[in-house]
Structure formats: C-alpha cells, structure tokens
Amino acid sequence: MTEIFPNLEIAYGEIFLSIGAMLLLMVGVFKKDSVNLVSWLAVGFIVITMFLSLAVGSEQTFTLSNLFVVDGFTQFMKILVLVASALAVIMSREFFRLEGEDRFEFPVLMVLATVGMMIMVSANDLMSLYMGIELQSLSLYVLAAFKRDSEKSTEAGLKYFVLGALSSGILLYGCSLIYGFIGSTNFSSIATAVGGIEEGSASVGVVVGLVFVLAGLAFKVSAVPFHMWTPDVYEGSQTPVTAFFSVAPKVAALALLARTLYVPFGDLSGSWAQVVIFMSVASMILGSFAAIMQTNIKRLMAYSSIGHVGFALLGLIAGNAEGIRGVMIYMTIYLVMNVGMFVCIMSMRRKEEGMVEDIADLSGLAQNHPVMAAFISIFMFSLAGVPPLAGFFAKWYVIIPIVNAGYFTLATIAVLASVVGAYYYIRIVKVMYFDAPAEEFVPQKSLPMKVIVTLSAILVLAFIAPQISSPVLDHAQAAAQGLSQK
Amino acid sequence: MIVAICFYIFAAVLVGSAVMVVFSKNPVHSVLFLILAFFNAAGLFVLLGAEFVAMILVIVYVGAVAVMFLFVVMMLDINFTELRKGVQDYLPIGLLIGFILLAEIAAIAGGWSMTDGIATTITSATPPASEVTNTDAIGRVLYTDYIFLFQVAGLILLVAMIGAIVLTHRNRSGVKKQDIGKQVRRRRHEAYEAVKVKPGEGI
C-alpha cells in the first residue's frame, strides 16, 4: 500500500467513459425512443474522453498500484481506438436508422467495449491485461449476436464466444505459468526478473507461459493460426458491428501485444521473435491467398484484415523504436482505409433486397454510381498498397525497419504477399468498371456517412503530403521511443 | 498422518467423481457427482490452508452454479445418449492429444527452475497465515491495491447483465402485466353493479 489515495488524474478518460456508459444506460431505460439521443451522447462522451486522454500528457506515469500506465504510446493508441469507436457508433446509427432493429443498448455496449480497449492499452500488469480483454470481448460477443432472430448473427456470436472463451483460458494459463515462475504479474517486475536472465537460459516455464499468452493475444488480433473465427464472425455480424470489429479491437490488441512483448519480455526477444515471425508470415500468406476465392465482400474484408495484421506484426519483429513506429503508422492508416471502405459496404443497399454484400452486386457500379465506385477504387488501391496512396506508406514504414534489422527473406515474403493481395483488391475495381451493370443501389443520403467517406478518401489520397503525414509520423516517433527504451 | 489420509481420501473421491461426471448415464447423476467433486476440492483447499477459497467453492459452485446446472439439465429436454454417440470415434484422438499435452507439461515440470531473485519480485507478500485469516489477507489488498481490478470486474458483470437482457428480453404482445396505476385508478362503479334480484327468479 504505497499510496493512500491513488493518482486518478491519468485515468480520468477511462473513469469518465465508464460513468458515461452507465449514464447512457439510464437515459436509454427511462426515456422512451431515445436511441438517437443515446448514440449522439455516446459520440460526445467518446470525444470528451479523447480530450481527457490528450490532457494526460505523454510522460510515463504509473498509478493504481502500478496496474495502470500512461505514456506517449498509450496516448497515441487510445486516440486511435476512440476515433475508431466514435466513427463506428455514428456509422451504426445511420445503418440502424434504415434497417430498423433500433436499440439503445447497442451504443452503450460499444462504449463499454471501448473502455475495455482503453484498459487493454494502458495495462501494466497481466491481471489488468486480462480484465481489459474480458471487458472488451464480452461486449463484442453480445454485439456479434445482436440481431438475435438472424441465424447467421447468432452463429457468429456463439462461435466468437466459444472460441474467445477458449483463447482466454489459454491466455490465463500462460499468465499463471509466468506468475508461478517469476513471482509477479506486474510488467515492470517481470522486466526486472527477465532482465537478469542470460540469453537462452530462461526457465522453460516462463517461455511456455509467454507462448501461451502470445497465443491468446494472437486470437484477439486474429493472426494465423488463430484466425478461424474471423471470416465467419465478420460475415455473420451486422455490417456496422463488422466495421467496429475490424478496427478498434485490433488496434487495442496490437498495442497490448506490443507492450507485452517489449516491456516485460523485451529481453526474451530471442524466444518470442520466432513465434511472431511465423504468425506474421502465415497471416500475410493466408490473408492474400484465401481472399482470392471469396465472393462475399465482408468475408473478403475479414481475410484482408488477417493479411494486414500480418503486416503490422512485421513491425514488432524489428524489435526497435523504428518498428514500433511502423506498427503505429500502419494501424492509423489501416483505420482510415477500413472505415472508408465499410461506409461504402454499408451503402450497398437495394430497394427490394435491402442490404447486399456480394462482390457480384458491385458489378458495373461505375455506370450507376460513379462517385461510390471512385471511392471504393481509392480504398481498394490503398489497401493493396499502390503508391502514392496511404496504404503504400503503411507497408513502407513496417518493411523498412525489418530490412534495416536484416530480415531480408521476411521483407521479400511481405512484398510478394502484397502483390498477391493486390490481385483481389484490384479485381473489385475491375468488376466495378468493366462488368455489365447490376441493379442500382439506393443512393446514400446520410450526411455523416458522406462526410466520413469523403474525409477518409481525402486522407488516403493526401497522406503523401508532408502536412498530413508529418504530425502522424512525429507523434508515432516520440511515442515509439518511449516504449522501446524500457 | 491424518492430513495425509484426508488428502488421499479427498483426492481419490475427487478423481472418482470427476470420472463419473463424464461417464454416468443419467445426466442428473452427473450433476450430483459434480457437486461431490466440488466438495472434495473444497476439502483439498482446506488442507492447503486456503479456507476462503474452499468456502467460496462451496457457496458459489455448489450453491449457485451446480444447482443451476441441475435446473438446466432437468428442464431442457436434451437427449444425452444421442450427444454421446461419437465418443467411441473421438476417444483415441482425444486420448492421444491428452497424452501429448501431459507429456509436454511434464517436460516443463521436469525443467522446473524458479527465476533468480523471485523473492524480490514477488508481488505483495501476504502476511503469514498464522497471523491473519485468508479472508483478512484478501480484504487487506482487494479494496486497496487491487481496487482497479475490482472495479473493472464490476464493469464486466454489468456488461454480462446488459448482454443477457439484450439477447433474451422480448416485448411480447398479449402478455398480461400488472399495472398498479390502473389498479389504483379503478373506481367502485366500474367494478360492480347492484342488481335487484327478484325472489325465485335469479339473474
């Protein structure tokens, strides 16, 4: 008991958002038909939380008995998570307004999941890591099964829940092994204990524990070979849920993975690097090859996200500040591209059929909806990594560090995988521009959706301009320095 | 000596009842064996000096979880023999995986070596068990050092509650609900009518 009253200032963001979630729950329960109000309040709360997180400052501070940490890295990642969540709440609002099934619990669960993600990002102890993951996952399981009279959505929720529970079990088993062999769950203490071990002589128990923890975290970022759930869950959930799944939880889980590997186990990099290399290569290859056969655009985005996680993991392998910076830039750009693409997917709505999600439905889109086709092409080219779009720079900043670190084979595989990936991204562009037109979509009338898609397209196009890219690069640089020093 | 005898009795009954949970034909018997297993595990915890965990095991697992299992088993009409049909086919591969895992864990246990300086890193050394009870020791840290985890656990339970309501609550039509306002508003003249009954005629 070192502190009588913990320094709560640096956790104001999390505290505010948790109280906000409960407040939203009250509003939703006591005020009839308040979905609209609850959603916009949720967005407002998330924006305020963003400012609170920014106000914390980027100096490294521990609080709550060292269970919680704040530094430049957590700040950067929290902002990404919060932006992704706020956009997902807005997108789901617009989606449900047309689809019906309007329930105020939806934004509340999203806000609670966001709290979980913030705790994940700020975790400085295996126990807070686990609590954050559980808070986030439990909300996500419910969101996946939200449309309960749809068989697919229920299946998605159940599948995610069962596999997620299994992965949590594996993670916990790893944590208990680490605790048993090191005597502490705190990241700083583990780092001290691990630092005293000479290379190669680490206790088997610690390494096995670390591998179990890695397996659990790999499930959360859906890296191969723990990716099986991703396509089914992405396809089965409703589109705004998929949009939410594909960005915010990934950012949080990658941030957690980066911290877990660099802070407590930084000195064991020889032991975890081979595991991460395998996951990264397997994800990139599976992500590019399996996506070729897909006909459903949400499944395609699922495989694409698996591939992108593979690329992001490359940055971790480099094992230095440059690599971490690469991961942060990658996730930032990935967020922008994915959000934009999902707005386009949500605009695939026909009068009689309602929502459609087959790639064949996009056929000849350029003739009926030239603007939407242009947007999708921009995002597809960017996801494929075609210069001068943002997606190219994302890949650039993770591949350069591993080349500098001497992993030439890995870099070659990454480039080849992205070439294969380019095939299925650009095939969609071909379908839109050169195939016979399919039936028209209902035009997208919602203003927020238009704003989101236009902004993200502009960011993707303009990332080459130093005015846009340098703030991201500078912040990521400063934050990455902080993480890799310890 | 007595401790050793108690240990072997608890352990043997625990393993035996755990096997019976899986293999007994009647699902209700399975649940009852599960309860027996919980009690014996609690006994083992008492032998270890962890009386708090032992009591929690009895109260939470026997008192709540197992009883709920019993309700579920008795209420749902599940054909358990049908579910168990594939056992023969899956048994060899299951045993194989089990043995591989066991061998791997044995390998870890064989290479058992604590990290140096474990005494310095050990989280929060609890006071010796002879001085304070388990409950006291947990109480000293749960609401002070670990208040953060405690609060997050509360949030997780809130999510679980919201989730359960979201996924199961439906507004059914035609359900008769009690409306206290309506009951109180009810006036005498709405409720009954005075009728003059002529003798011998009835209403």
Of A131, A182, A205, the CB nearest to B108: A205
The average pLDDT across B18-37 equals: 88
Judge: B149–A128 Cβ closer than 8 Å, yes or no.
Answer: yes
Burial of B12 (0-12, 13-18, 19+ CB in 10 A): exposed
* Structural domain for B35, as ranges: 1-77
pLDDT tens track for A137-180: 999 999 999 888 888 889 999 999 999 999 999 999 999 988 88
CATH of the domain at B60: 1.20.120.1200
pLDDT tens track for A299-341: 999 999 999 999 999 988 888 888 899 999 999 999 999 999 9
**Which residues on B lie below 8 Å from A135 (Cβ)?**
152, 155-156, 159
Encode burial over B136-165: b for 16+ CB neighbours within 10 A, e otherwise.
ebeeebeeebbebbebbeebbebbeebbee
Of A18, A145, A189, the CB nearest to B167: A145
- Chain B: closest CA distance from residue A138 (Å): 7
Asked whether residue B157 is assigned to any structural domain, the reply reads: yes
Judge: B167–A148 Cβ closer than 8 Å, yes or no.
Answer: yes
Asked whether residue B184 is assigned to any structural domain, the reply reads: no
Assign A1 a pLDDT band (cuts: 50, 70, 90): very low
What are the Cα distances from residue A29, in Å, to A42, A90, B105? 15, 20, 50
- Chain A: closest CA distance from residue B194 (Å): 42
Whether B73 and B139 share a structural domain: no
Task: Tell me if A476 sits within 8 A of A328, measured CB to CB.
Answer: yes
Whether B4 and B72 share a structural domain: yes
Chosen domain end from B77, B100, B122? B77
Task: Tell me if A332 sits within 8 A of A460, measured CB to CB.
Answer: no
DSSP element (H, E) containing A57: none
Of A177, A181, A184, the CB nearest to B123: A184
Task: Tell me if A127 sits within 8 A of A260, measured CB to CB.
Answer: no
Please provide the distance, in angstroms rounded to a whole number, between the alpha carbons at the two ends of chain A: 25
Percent of chain A topping pLDDT 70:
97
Judge: A139–B163 Cβ closer than 8 Å, yes or no.
Answer: yes
**Which residues on A lie below 8 Å from B171 (Cβ)?**
none
**Which residues on B lie below 8 Å from A112 (Cβ)?**
155, 158-159, 162
- Chain A: closest CA distance from residue B173 (Å): 17
Report ipTM (2 d.p.).
0.90
Asked whether residue B56 is assigned to any structural domain, the reply reads: yes
Asked whether residue B183 is assigned to any structural domain, the reply reads: no
Asked whether residue B145 is assigned to any structural domain, the reply reads: yes
Asked whether residue B143 is assigned to any structural domain, the reply reads: yes
Asked whether residue B192 is assigned to any structural domain, the reply reads: no
Nearest CA in chain B to A203: B113
Asked whether residue B87 is assigned to any structural domain, the reply reads: no
- Chain A: closest CA distance from residue B163 (Å): 6
Chosen domain end from B77, B94, B114? B77
Chosen domain end from B61, B77, B93? B77
- From A205, A115, A122, select the one nearest B152 (Cα to Cα): A115
pLDDT tens track for A27-78: 998 988 888 899 999 999 999 999 999 888 778 888 888 889 988 889 999 9
The average pLDDT across A243-252 equals: 92
pLDDT at A255 over 60: yes
All residues at 6 or more sequence positions from B62 whose CB lies less than 8 Å from its CB, including other chains: B35, B38, B39
Judge: A196–B144 Cβ closer than 8 Å, yes or no.
Answer: no
Q: Per the structure, how many domains does chain B have?
A: 2
Give pLDDT, residue B125: 56
